[in-house]
Amino acid sequence: MPKVLVSDPIDQVGIDILSQVAQVDVKTGLPPEELIRIIPDYDALMIRSGTRVTQAVIEAGKQLKIIGRAGVGVDNVDVPEATRKGILVVNSPEGNTIAAAEHAIAMMLSMSRYIPAANQSVKGGKWSRSSFTGVEVYKKTLGVVGLGKIGAHVATVARAMGMKLLAYDPFISTERAEQLGCRVVELDLLLQEADFITLHLPKTPETTHLINTEALAKMKPTARIINCARGGIIDEAALTIALKEGKIAGAALDVYEAEPLGESPLKELGKEIVLTPHLGASTEEAQVNVAIDVAEQIRDVLLGLPARSAVNIPGLRPDVLEKLRPYLQLAETLGNLVGQLAGGRVESLNVLLQGELATNESQPIVVAALKGLLSHALQERVNYVNASIEAKERGIRVIETRDASIKDYSGSLHLSAKGALGEYSVTGAVLGDDEIRITSLNEFPINVPPNRYMLFTLHRDMPGIIGKIGSLLGSFNVNIASMQVGRKIVRGDAVMVLSIDDPLPEGILAEITKVPGIRDAYTVTL
């Protein structure tokens, strides 16, 4: 009989499900060395956020077939190492959707009617009704920043409460937003017009301190903001000042830049702020839901059935996985690249499998391309299971074609995407030793390995332009790791690709576009 180790507390219903097909051992609070010592005996591991499943744990788990995380994030699991070992990693991406959405609504109402402060006042023996005159949400404008599953449910509930809805989400189609009753606007307009603003975004370099001093200054003095998404999206120091000076009317936070919340000026504020200790997923129903969801997936995998929410590659035998792995990495990299070049709101993605690659199973490659396309926006929320669903919900058309006659390389992949910034295409191939190369950009021939930070320019092929760009980057202390130019004809249009060691400092991209001969410039983070 298979053996399952449960190393974090989960609801009993999950253990009961696992017990249908396996011997279940519940051993919580294990030190890392003890987990490594006992994991070779187990076929499956079920965790929450407490257990760290490191490379050492995975290497020791010689019999492991599946790791199940009863929750959304899998930051505590070395997913790449598990994938290399052919171990499925599953989570419960929707188990706490309702809980998180309802908490955001509860925070909005608590803040608008000063419920926490009024509660404390009454318990303190006071009866000061006039001190807690609140505001109604009916007919007010709610700005929803991020229309994923949680943001969409918040919008649905708010609409039923009679609120007007604005939405900012660069990665969702206007059609989808309108189905939810939202008017899609740019962030600046949302900040200016909304009475309440609720954030439902992943934390990324682009969203870190998205709500900063400048953003807060654009809001109405009567506006209130809610963050039940990720700590760090709001600049807490700037928020504290804005609340103290009356630049906005209120805030409700469930997540913080550092958790648990220690010494913080937020705690010194009065009734205008509501603070809760990261309770978004803390409902009895959510804990039961994630336990059932993940336990059922572990049970199914142990019975030889597919998992429905694998965050790595689902349903592929290890031998097939080994063959396709470099092409899946290629597809994900190219998807990420073309998605950033085309702009956030992508309308369509064309996937062309060329040469020998055209004879392989295509679905995993298409899914990997979609995962890459959406990863810049959705981060850990997008995986190999939900990438197609997320793309469909955002109105992205996917077209797959094959051409075995193209034999520039033994097998290559061509992606083209149409988005807010226009239509872009990129081609890549896998060389010897599974080395990935980008071989063309917008049909301009190049041959460069992908790099964490890259700068692309479209320019006129003319003497001196490379030197000017190099000097400009040098003046900003930007180190160039490699550079290559691709052109079709002499002194015609050309592209330049620079791999750089660090992100470009703010403002330098605008300076690059001022260089004579430079037609456009883009930065990409892979």
Mean pLDDT computed over 371-396 = 78
Confidence at residue 502, expressed as pLDDT on a 0 to 100 scale: 86
Domain with 501 in it: what CATH number?
Answer: 3.30.70.260
Query: Is 60 exceeded by the pLDDT of residue 319?
Result: no
Tokens of 372: 């890459």
Do 102 and 247 sit in the same domain of this protein? yes
Rounded to 10 degrees, the C-alpha dihedral 247/248/253/259 comes to -10
Task: Name the one residue in this structure whose structure tokens are 């470009």.
Answer: 504
Q: Which of 410, 433, 450 is the last residue of a domain?
A: 450
Do 5 and 83 sit in the same domain of this protein? yes
- Nearest residue to 302 via CA among 45, 74, 10: 45
Task: Give start and end residues of each alpha helix (H) in 235-386.
Answer: 236-244, 284-302, 318-342, 363-378
Instruction: Say if residue 304 is exposed, middle or buried (CB neighbours under 10 Å; 0-12, 13-18, 19+).
Output: exposed
Domain with 126 in it: what CATH number?
Answer: 3.40.50.720
Q: Which residues contact 244 (CB under 8 A, 6 or more apart)?
A: 269
Mean pLDDT is lowest, of 88-92, 320-324, 400-404, for: 320-324
Confidence at residue 420, expressed as pLDDT on a 0 to 100 scale: 83
Instruction: Give residue 126's pLDDT band: very low, low, confident or very high (50, 70, 90).
Output: very high
Do 483 and 423 sit in the same domain of this protein? no
How many domains does one find in the chain? 4
Instruction: Say if residue 126 is exposed, middle or buried (CB neighbours under 10 Å; 0-12, 13-18, 19+).
Output: exposed
Q: Give the full edge-to-edge strand order of the sheet including 66-69.
A: 23-26, 3-6, 44-47, 66-69, 88-90
Q: Using CA atoms, how far apart are residues 222 and 172, in angstroms rounded to an integer? A: 29
The residue segments making up the domain with residue 24 are 1-93+283-312
pLDDT (tens digit, 9 = 90+) per residue, 407-466? 777 778 999 999 888 899 999 998 877 889 999 999 889 999 999 998 988 988 888 888
Direct distance between the N- and C-terminal alpha carbons of the chain, in angstroms, rounded to an integer: 43
Instruction: Give residue 381's pLDDT band: very low, low, confident or very high (50, 70, 90).
Output: low
Tokens of 211: 């709500």
> Out of 48, 103, 200, 230, which one is annotated catalytic?
230
Evaluate the omega torsion of the peptide bond into residue 9 and state whether it is cis, within 30 degrees of 0. Answer: no
Do 137 and 265 sit in the same domain of this protein? yes
Instruction: Give residue 304's pLDDT band: very low, low, confident or very high (50, 70, 90).
Output: confident
Q: Which of 411, 432, 450 is the last residue of a domain?
A: 450
Three-class DSSP category at 161 = coil
Confidence at residue 261, expressed as pLDDT on a 0 to 100 scale: 93
Tell me how crowded residue 504 is: count the other CB atoms within 10 A of its CB. Answer: 18
Tokens of 71: 């929750």
Q: Using CA atoms, how far apart are residues 349 and 423, in angstroms rounded to an integer? A: 10
Confidence at residue 317, expressed as pLDDT on a 0 to 100 scale: 52
If one compares 25 and 328, the residue with the highest pLDDT of the two is 25
pLDDT (tens digit, 9 = 90+) per residue, 458-504? 988 888 888 888 888 888 888 898 888 988 888 888 898 999 988 88
Task: Name the one residue in this structure whose structure tokens are 């295409």.
Answer: 425
Mean pLDDT is lowest, of 52-56, 143-147, 154-158, 495-499, for: 495-499
Do 30 and 107 sit in the same domain of this protein? no
Do 121 and 233 sit in the same domain of this protein? yes
Q: Using CA atoms, how far apart are residues 18 and 2, in angstroms rounded to an integer? A: 10
Confidence at residue 490, expressed as pLDDT on a 0 to 100 scale: 87
Confidence at residue 380, expressed as pLDDT on a 0 to 100 scale: 61
Instruction: Give residue 209's pLDDT band: very low, low, confident or very high (50, 70, 90).
Output: very high
Do 267 and 338 sit in the same domain of this protein? no
Q: Using CA atoms, how far apart are residues 53 and 76, in angstroms rounded to an integer? A: 6
Task: Give start and end residues of each alpha helix (H) in 410-507.
Answer: 465-475
Query: Is 70 exceeded by the pLDDT of residue 385?
Result: no
Return mean pLDDT, the chain. 90
Mean pLDDT computed over 168-176 = 84
Q: Using CA atoms, how far apart are residues 67 and 385, in angstroms rounded to an integer? A: 15
Task: Name the one residue in this structure whose structure tokens are 């506006």.
Answer: 223
> Out of 52, 209, 278, 487, which one is annotated catalytic?
278
Q: Which residues contact 31 (CB under 8 A, 6 or more apart)?
A: none
pTM exceeds cut of 0.75: no
Mean pLDDT computed over 339-367 = 85
Task: Give start and end residues of each alpha helix (H) in 343-409.
Answer: 363-378, 387-393
Mean pLDDT computed over 319-331 = 78
Q: Using CA atoms, how far apart are residues 411 and 434, in angstroms rounded to an integer? A: 12
Q: Which of 450, 476, 501 is the last residue of a domain?
A: 450
Do 460 and 432 sit in the same domain of this protein? no
If one compares 317 and 78, the residue with the highest pLDDT of the two is 78
Q: Would you mind telling me the total number of residues written for the chain in this entry?
A: 526
If one compares 176 and 112, the residue with the highest pLDDT of the two is 112
- Ramachandran angles phi, psi of 146, nearest 5°: 105, 105
- Ramachandran angles phi, psi of 428, nearest 5°: -145, 165
Do 115 and 255 sit in the same domain of this protein? yes
Indicate if 459 belongs to the active site: no
Identify whether the C-beta of residue 269 lies closer than 8 Å to the C-beta of residue 241.
Answer: no
Confidence at residue 35, expressed as pLDDT on a 0 to 100 scale: 97
Tell me how crowded residue 325 is: count the other CB atoms within 10 A of its CB. Answer: 18
Instruction: Give residue 313's pLDDT band: very low, low, confident or very high (50, 70, 90).
Output: low
Do 295 and 328 sit in the same domain of this protein? no
Query: Is 90 exceeded by the pLDDT of residue 265?
Result: yes
Do 377 and 487 sit in the same domain of this protein? no
> Out of 34, 259, 268, 322, which one is annotated catalytic?
259
pLDDT (tens digit, 9 = 90+) per residue, 350-362? 999 988 888 877 7
Confidence at residue 316, expressed as pLDDT on a 0 to 100 scale: 56
Indicate if 381 belongs to the active site: no
pLDDT (tens digit, 9 = 90+) per residue, 236-259? 999 999 999 999 999 999 999 998
pLDDT (tens digit, 9 = 90+) per residue, 84-98? 777 889 998 788 899
Do 455 and 443 sit in the same domain of this protein? no
Q: Which residues contact 160 (CB under 8 A, 6 or more apart)?
A: none
Q: 321: number of CA atoms within 13 Å, CB side?
A: 15
Task: Give start and end residues of each alpha helix (H) in 61-160.
Answer: 79-84, 97-112, 115-123, 149-160
Instruction: Say if residue 515 is exposed, middle or buried (CB neighbours under 10 Å; 0-12, 13-18, 19+).
Output: middle
Characterize 151-188 residue by residue with b for buried, 16 or more Cβ atoms within 10 angstroms of its Cβ, and e for exposed.
Answer: bbbbbebbeebebbbbbbbbbbbeebbeebebebbebe
Indicate if 278 belongs to the active site: yes
Domain with 348 in it: what CATH number?
Answer: 3.30.1330.90
